[in-house]
Amino acid sequence: MTTAPRRPRFPAAASPAPAPTQRPQRLVRESREADEHARRQPPTTGLGLDSEQVRVRMVDRLRRDEGISCEPLLAAMAAVPRHRFVDPALATQAYEDTALPIGHGQTISSPSVVAIMIARLFGTDAAQRRGNLGRTLEIGTGCGYQAALLARLAPSVISIERLRPLYDKARDLLAGLPRSNLRLVYGDGRLGHPPNAPYDSIIAAAGGDELPQAWLDQLAVGGRLIAPVTAGRAQALVVVDRTPTEWRRELHEAVMFVPLRSGTA
């Protein structure tokens, strides 16, 4: 996949102050694929958003404007109803290429940023060979949209959220679904999730000054990590590939993600 350098797309969002203490991560319950569940949720918006056509148009734009050509990813984006993950008042904007607020000072990433990040994860030799993302760790569940995509693209996904209300919201949106390859964890994602490590793919939706050492340690050899990091006065996406001898790091385009915070709240 190729992407042109771009201007930041995320509105900066104020986040709540970090909690003073770190609580141990708690695996609370399993969730399953969001899209099928969300599709079953009444009532429909009555705005035509439940039709796959509206998502197919979004996917066509991702192909044309962003050069995304990763077919499994495009199929997942055509299937998962993004409008079900945002406030009903914002549903009509769900298929525009824009970040949207999800409450608690956080934002759901724009479709193009989500697509660019996941497409890069697909870029390793190992992912190409397997045809999927392998064992995957997401930091920053937010409303659960990206987690729902990842669950279609990986045999197992662990997704961690540090804000209890968002964790609860994502759990409700993703609950009661037919597959159990997605597990939501309430905890501090800076610590990763050691019980399921190593991960073939690690993706973070919040950015700090440094990549936490736990993420690097928990990345499998041949695996890839993608995350926003502070670079000078701005933020940029960094891709880290772990080889048998090193962690190879490459800086990509400027982005604007919410901050990676410590602890839970």
Binding site residues, ligand SAH, CB under 6 A: 102, 106-109, 139-140, 142-143, 145-146, 160-163, 166, 188-190, 205-206, 258, 260-261
Q: What's the closest the beta carbon of residue 81 comes to ligand SAH, in angstroms?
A: 13
Closer to ligand SAH by Cβ: residue 124 or 146: 146
**Hey, is 53 helix, strand or coil?**
helix
Q: What's the closest the beta carbon of residue 36 comes to ligand SAH, in angstroms?
A: 17
Closer to ligand SAH by Cβ: residue 134 or 142: 142
Closer to ligand SAH by Cβ: residue 102 or 211: 102
Which residues is 227 bridged to in the sheet?
Answer: 238
Residues 56 and 82: beta-carbon distance below 8 Å = no
Q: Which of 15, 31, 69, 109 is catalytic?
A: 109
Helix residue spans in the chain (DSSP H): 34-40, 52-66, 71-79, 111-121, 125-130, 145-153, 164-174, 213-218
CA distance 131 to 203: 17
- The answer to whether the peptide bond before residue 81 is cis (omega within 30 degrees of 0) is no
Q: Which residues contact 141 (CB under 8 A, 6 or more apart)?
A: 147, 159, 160, 161, 166, 167, 170, 184
- Catalytic, 262? Answer no
Q: What's the closest the beta carbon of residue 100 comes to ligand SAH, in angstroms?
A: 9
Closer to ligand SAH by Cβ: residue 55 or 190: 190
Q: What's the closest the beta carbon of residue 188 comes to ligand SAH, in angstroms?
A: 5
How do 199-204 and 156-161 pair as beta strands? unpaired
Which residues are tagged catalytic?
A: 109
